[in-house]
Chain A
Amino acid sequence: MSEAAPDPALDPWTTAALVALLLAIDPHSLGGASLRGPAGPVRDAWLGLLRACIPPQAPMRRLPIGVSEGRLLGGLDLAATLRAGRPIGERGVLAEADGGVVVAAMAERILTTTAACLSAALDTGTVTTARDGIASVNPARIGVVALDEGIADDERPPVALLDRMAFLLDFTELTRVGDDPDYGLDDVTDARALLPRVTLGEEALSALVGTAVVLGVDSLRASLMAMRVAKTAAALNGRSEVAKEDAALAARLVFGPRATRLPPPHDQPPEEQPEEPPPPEEPPPPTDESDQPSDEQEEQEPPQNLEDLVLEAAKASIPPGLLEQLRAGKPPQQSRGSGKAGAMQKKGARGRPTGIRKGAPQPGARLNLVETLRAAAPWQRLRRAEQPDDNASRVHVRSDDFHVTRFRPRTETTTIFAVDASGSAAASRLAEAKGAVELLLADCYVRRDQVAVIGFRGTTAEILLPPTRSLVRAKRALAGLPGGGGTPIATGLGVAMALADQVRRRGQTPTIVMLTDGRANVGRDGSGGRAKAQAEAMEAAKQMRLAGLASLLVDISPRPAPQGQELAGAMGARYVALPYADATLLSQAVKVVTAETGGRNG
């Protein structure tokens, strides 16, 4: 098997199997792998292969989605503490997995804080516990396998975590398990022994880093990862110096899925070239190449110098969908993601802790063991004296001692702005909506509310800003809003409702703020016709009312007409006419509605 050659024909399973081997050699330094795709035999086979390649004594621990921080980081071992009569700590999953791999299930919904704990362990190789009266630092040299079952583009593991993993594998198209790799546990063991002595030459180094720059892989961690993958691959092949196949493989595995742009056509030397030290035995660059901007053409001709070779390898492995996007000049989706799903879900899981008080556990109030023990502690001597025949080392806890942590059910709201971007008024209207969104964001940080923006014009409606709390993201998403065209109100309402539904399923309360003049002239199917469009809009508005969505309709026409009122009536929305609205007024109006919603649901 010529596994290291930059061979585009290499099938996905062989690649995946090779990743399992490499990861098994040095899980901690390589960070781990993200497996995107549904649960199934292929994923199980891969995990089985990984298990078989990791030395038997090294642990492989599965991390359930809702793991508590106590179990993750370690904390108080209650049973042992009660038995011994003094606090006994227990190690968490991360410390228990030291030297092995943690498999995070449903990683696309992992909590941001859990991801941050994993990231810290990947960065430092230790886990720091500071909870339940326990303070310790334990080694946790782990690798992480993130099982990403996300379907939508923004359903991904937190980027902070992905950034720390060398491998991003996509199993969605992979349905067949191929042959076992030619290597086994013995090779892994040999490679582990060889790895510390493997060196990386200057040429390979600059080829790897240069490729990252050309493909727009910004995070330096990716370059570091590529370096480590190259060394690990060399070790697997029994080499003590990184060969060009190793560098090419590393670029293929690490940079391919992370590329954010395609290299300039071959005949234009990249601007970085002058800084590069000339490789010693470099054959003269292929100058005979004609102007061939087509990538397919380039792939046919075997590249000559190492950087080209590495670059070609990486390019060949850019996933097809991503490649299409890049060719079209669109920035890829994944570089924009953030671990927001986790942050939202955290609130959904249990609400915010609002404090600890005395009392028995009940729904919404969970027993707080440490506080209960603290309450019991001062009385131990007395209680032991009362029951002298009892085992002296036991801790006597009575129901009086019970303390509970109370959780406030979430009242987090997501305000969805649906902005009519049609016609002449669009520019100023969008600027207002944009101002209001930013004001709301700046204002409601403490309430942890989120904001989303939908724009509709012409024949379509699109989500311009998915729910977020980040001002940075909001500003960027709103920066260049297009305007003009017809007014497809029904479509706009439809998209708003779908998004509201999504928000609800995440356990938050959506509020829809519609900015429009209420004069629909484009139907759902994109056809014109005022009467039909208006009827469809009213229909969508009624559906929205039935769905019980709190809403506000801001009539933005310079001379408010009855259509806006009617639409608001059908939606069950509060109606505000703001012919000369400024952002401040708008955000105040929105706050009134969200406050009502919060009161109703919270």
Chain B
Amino acid sequence: MAQPFPFSALVGQDEMRRAIIIAAVDPQVGGVLVFGDRGTGKSTAVRALAALLPDMEVVDGCRYGCDPGDQARLCSECRERQMQGVLPTRRARVPVVDLPLGASEDRVVGALDLERALSRGEKAFEPGLLARAHRGFLYVDEVNLLEDHLVDLLIDVAASGENVVERDGLSVRHPARFVLVGSGNPEEGELRPQLLDRFGLCVEVKTATDLATRIEVVRRRDSYERDPTAFVASWAEADATLRQAILDGRSRLKGLEVGDAVMEQAARLCLSLGTDGVRAELALMRASRAWAAFTGADAVTEEHLKQVAPPVLRHRLRRNVLDDAGSTTRVERAMAEMFGA
């Protein structure tokens, strides 16, 4: 899979693309869950994400890819090295790590380095997938099929941002802050509520029904398969523009305030939908700000709020057995009542 399908060449699925871009602009929004029909390009979109992300600064030689600018979250090794002098840095790609189904616990959290233990009798820690995903994205395809004991691990680490390993006589802790990206088909099983909760945005994808769109999807896929290199090259410029827009969005993010009027609307929307706690409001605020920053707006407006509300709120509604409508419909209904048709 040397050359993933370019992100800019994706056709349709606006909400999914918007959600992924929001997560790239502001990782604080939390992860993205893409749930929906088969054959809608869920994994293609997520795998295309890696090429979109601008490089980041890391401590050279650090196994966890610590951020030299973030003193508070350096790993213990970097802290020790810092005592002896300034940490060397280098540019690195933002990791997008695949958590494959069937991964064993030791590979996910890290474990005793068998090689060194067996051949040299040394007790050393071999970092796992969570360490590799630090400061990047952790992608779980078919997330609703993930083994329960791995789900437990993810839930804990995704919330604390730290991986604590106590096994094989090792006692290691290292930072593991990542954006969780999951995809799956709801027909194959529900997601545990606690895990659902770790996703900031939840996108529903449906198969495109419009003939022109469908033809375009197949046509682009055909040219990609015929000559991946040429196809990726022809979209390189569009991808670069998008990457720059994400970078610009990030730098604008700090200067953007969410005004009281928009905050109040967000609060009222959450209230009318009966979402739990203030986390939904926080997520609404962050997502609208990230989207406003990406689109280059001077202020966060109602329009931004409206565009991000469905993916932010969809999975935060309390289940109401008496209401047959899907959660998407309920969000739309509440929005229509608030903002008018």
Residues of A within 8 A of B (CB): 29, 69, 72-73, 81, 85-87, 112-113, 116-117, 119-120, 123-126, 128-135, 158-160, 163, 196, 199-200, 205-206, 208-210, 212-213, 218-224, 227-228, 272, 275-276, 338-340, 343, 352-353, 370, 373-374, 377-378, 380-381, 395, 434-435, 438-439, 441-442, 445-446, 448, 469-473, 475, 479, 583
Contact = CB atoms under 8 A, between A and B. Distances in A.
19 contacts: A81-B118, A113-B147, A119-B142, A126-B1, A128-B98, A129-B100, A133-B106, A133-B111, A160-B142, A163-B38, A196-B226, A219-B38, A220-B207, A223-B214, A227-B221, A377-B117, A377-B118, A448-B148, A469-B190
B186 A472 contact: yes
A131 B114 contact: no
Contacts of B112: 374, 377
Contacts of A200: 222
B108 interface: yes
Closest 5 CB pairs of A and B: A377-B117, A219-B39, A221-B39, A131-B104, A130-B107
A439 B321 CA distance: 7
A276 B211 CA distance: 8
B145 interface: yes
B100 A73 contact: yes
A109 B123 CA distance: 43
Contact of A227 (B107, B111, B119, B218): B218
A224 B226 CA distance: 13
Interface string B178-200: 00000001111110110000000
B87 interface: no
A253 B138 CA distance: 38
Contacts of B233: none
Nearest to B117: A377
B187 A473 contact: yes
Contacts of A222: 39
A377 B145 CA distance: 34
B211 A160 contact: no
B322 interface: yes
Contact of B38 (A86, A221, A374): A221
B115 A159 contact: no
B209 to A, nearest CB: 7
Contacts, number: 193
Interface string B115-153: 101110101001011000000000001100101110000
Given A159-B38, A219-B38, A470-B186, A123 B43 contact: yes
Interface in B62-118: 98-104, 106-108, 111-115, 117-118
A258 to B, nearest CB: 11
Given A124-B1, A219-B39, A472 B187 contact: yes
A260 to B, nearest CB: 12
B218 A224 contact: yes
B258 to A, nearest CB: 33
Interface residues of B, number: 66
Given A116-B102, A446-B192, 18 more contacts: A113-B101, A113-B145, A119-B142, A124-B1, A125-B1, A160-B142, A163-B38, A196-B226, A213-B211, A224-B39, A227-B221, A343-B188, A370-B106, A370-B114, A435-B321, A435-B322, A470-B188, A471-B190
A124 to B, nearest CB: 5
A132 B188 contact: no
Contact of A86 (B103, B115, B128, B145): B115
Contact of A445 (B101, B103, B104, B193): B193
B214 A112 contact: no
A352 B115 contact: no
A218 B188 contact: no
A378 B169 contact: yes
Given A117-B101, A131-B103, A343 B321 contact: no
A471 B324 CA distance: 12
A159 B211 CA distance: 24
A83 B134 CA distance: 36
B64 to A, nearest CB: 16
Contact of A275 (B1, B47, B212, B217): B212
Contact of A377 (B121, B185, B321): B121
A81 B126 CA distance: 18
Most buried by B among A200, A218, A446: A218
A400 B169 CA distance: 16
A131 B38 contact: no
Interface of B: 1, 37-41, 43, 47, 98-104, 106-108, 111-115, 117-119, 121, 123, 126, 128-129, 141-142, 145, 147-149, 168-169, 185-190, 192-193, 207-212, 214-215, 217-219, 221-222, 225-226, 319, 321-322, 324
Contact of A131 (B40, B43, B107, B217): B107
Contacts of A227: 218, 221-222
Nearest to A210: B211
A460 B78 CA distance: 72
A433 to B, nearest CB: 11
A341 to B, nearest CB: 12
B207 A130 contact: no
Nearest to B209: A213
B121 A133 contact: no
A219 B208 CA distance: 9
Contacts of A133: 106-107, 111, 113-115, 126
Contact of B207 (A124, A219, A370): A219
Most buried by B among A212, A224, A441: A224
A339 B101 contact: no
Contact of B102 (A117, A163, A208, A583): A117
B192 A130 contact: no
A210 B313 CA distance: 35
Contacts of A438: 319, 321
A374 B117 contact: yes
Contacts of A113: 101-102, 145, 147
B177 to A, nearest CB: 20
Contacts of B207: 218-220
Nearest to A354: B149
Nearest to B207: A218
Most buried by A among B40, B192, B214: B214
Contact of A116 (B142, B148, B190): B142
A220 B211 contact: no
A430 B162 CA distance: 48
B124 to A, nearest CB: 10
Most buried by B among A128, A133, A223, A395: A133
Contacts of A69: 102
A372 to B, nearest CB: 11
A112 B114 CA distance: 31
Contacts of A218: 37, 39, 207, 209
B104 A374 contact: no
A86 B106 contact: no
Given A276-B211, A470-B186, A373 B101 contact: no
Contacts of B117: 374, 377-378, 380
A209 B188 CA distance: 27
B329 to A, nearest CB: 12
A425 B341 CA distance: 39
A378 to B, nearest CB: 6
A380 B114 CA distance: 12
A265 B187 CA distance: 33
Contacts of B193: 445
B145 to A, nearest CB: 6
